[in-house]
Chain A
Amino acid sequence: MTRQKRSHHKLKRAVAPYLYLSPSLLIIGLLMLLPMVTVIAYSFQNSAVLRRDPSFAGLKHYQAIFDDPVFWASLWHTLYFTCMSVIFHMTIGMVFALMLNSDRINPALRNILRVLYILPWLFTAVIIAVIWRLLLEPNGVVNSILMQIGIIGSKVEWFSSPETALHAVTFANIWAGYPLFMVSLLAGLQGIPKDFYEAADIDGAKAYQKLIFITIPQLMPIIISISLLDFIWTMQVFPLIWITTGGGPIYSTEVLSTYTYKLAFSSYNLSQASASAVVILLISLGLTLFYIRYQKAR
């Protein structure tokens, strides 16, 4: 083989993987990178999209959203909504997974519970929002039951009162999202070798000790991975909040997604909306990098 032929062959070998990857790279570039770069570009323009000749705005739109108290309130609400959702998704998911994995529960009952517990996962965000709006409306079932058993004295406007609205939407989101944890943890539980528990039984370990020293450490990789993913997804929740409260009453359930939506489609300020979207992107990116680093470390 001549030298020229060899170098040609080498080049072909080097290029081949990229040729195989090129269709997916092209799709990712067109569907993900291009819109992302476009939105970033919009955030530095005046009258983005609305004018054919937008001028350069520098950091003006970032300054405007950082000066807006509603943005900071939205950020705080987003963090509250996300943290509470992830914590409770994990807790409820763990309890239900342990229940479904327990030999002490009748297998037939376990199968029924498995179906019941997974139900929230089968509904779309719109259906979940409608269900909870009906349940939590002032004349709804929840108020009726709570009044009958004497927990509340008068009707509570769960979604319409600034004091309760954020808790109410968070509750609805917790209900909607725990099955992801439950299913993942159940799979993890079924993968823990029985020997560990048998050894612990011989050592006289109690149930809570087995949970703390065997189950949770064994599930830790799943818990961390799913928590990080849930954090990223929950931060971007839009339809549930939009349909239940629209970000209100006043600004009590305004989160970054509804804040951005209103800037874009109510104020038609697409430049500021882009700046807000870039902030969400940066936060999500930070979390994603953290997730990737964790995955690599494993």
Chain B
Amino acid sequence: MNLVLISLITLGVIGSVAAVILYVVAKKFHVFEDPRIDEVEEALPAANCGGCGFPGCRGFADACVKSDELGDLFCPVGGNDTMKKVAEILGKVAVAKAPTVAVVRCNGTCEHRPHNNEYDGVKHCFIAHNLYSGETNCSWGCLGFGDCELSCEFDAIKVNPITKIPEVDEDKCTSCGACVRACPKLLIELRKKGPKGRRVYVNCRNEDKGHITRKACEVGCIGCAKCQKVCPHEAITITNSLAFIHDDKCKLCRECVIVCPTNAITDVNFPAPKKKKEEAIVN
């Protein structure tokens, strides 16, 4: 009886002393946190992908609350809807952005780009890239070991086992940019999704001169500048024998797709494919 009483009293005293200390410390070292951070975090998709450039959703919420304007802050996963909600909570104005999607700019399938050596090292793009240029003559193109696939948190990018080129699932892609950072060849770009998912882009990253590209790959951009000449909107620039279509200027007229001699320009989600000029005459 006595023993039980002593233990109870001892523990009780220790407990209350500790409680007092904890209370005092909690009051003294209290960190004020804006309650809106929690609210904003609640509104975010909780993907913690880092696509916004901040360490997780809470970091982004913190940045949103602290900044005066939401101008540069954007959650690529949640998109405009989420940003509208965030803006409502904070009483700020959200800047609407056109939705983007990851685009792999290499069409060097086994068919288009013959392999001339076999890599038997560690099957990771970054290790292969560190060692040498790749299994084909094109030192710019996709290595096909799927680092982008590993990096994707949303299961949106998959290497096609037949073509050995990654393919993006538009519905799943949140354009968080993880694959962009994972690709050692810098092939992946976040582009505007476009109306009804329609977009036109140069499906190549090869900056070699035309004749070298031509030997390495059937569908490489050779920098002939035909697309640049034909483009009515001045949306195409050519640097180092490589064309690039600026998605903010492109009006999706697809003139460039028709003139491209190597079919390096790809259009997606358009209804009927526009015929090549020669074919059009024959038909």
A binds B: no
* Chain B residues near A (Cβ < 8 Å): none
